[in-house]
Structure 1
Amino acid sequence: MPPYRIAVIGIGKIARDEHLPSIARDPRFTLAGVVSGSGASVPGVPTFREAAALYAAVPDLDAVAICTPPGPRTALVREALAAGVHVLMEKPPTPTVGELRDLAAVAERAKRVVFTTWHSQYNAAVEAMRARLAGQKLGRLAITWKEDVRRWHPGQDWIWQSAGFGVFDPGINALSILTRIMPEPVFVDSATLLTPANRAMPIAATIAFTSPALAPGGTLTAEFDWRQTGEQTWEIAADLAGGTALRLTGGGTTLSVDGTVVEDAPRHEYDRIYARFADLLAAGTSLVDMAPFELVADAFMVGRREAVEPFLD
Structure 2
Amino acid sequence: MHSERPEVAVVQMNGRADWSANRPVVERLVAEAAEGGACLAVLPENLLAMPAHPAELVAMAERDTPAAIESLCDMARRHGIWLVAGTLPAVPAEGGHGSQVAARSLVIDAKGEVVAQYDKIHLFDVVLPDGESYRESATFRAGDSLVLVDTPAGRLGMATCFDLRFPELFARLARQGADWFCLPSAFTRTTGQAHWHVLTRARAIENSAWLVAAAQVGRHADGRETYGHSLVADPWGQVLVDAGNEPDCVRFARLDYEWLRGLRERFPVRRLHRPDLFDDGQ
Query: Shared topology, TM-score over 0.5?
Result: no
The TM-score with structure 2 as length reference comes to 0.30
The TM-score with structure 1 as length reference comes to 0.28
Larger Cα-atom Rg: 1
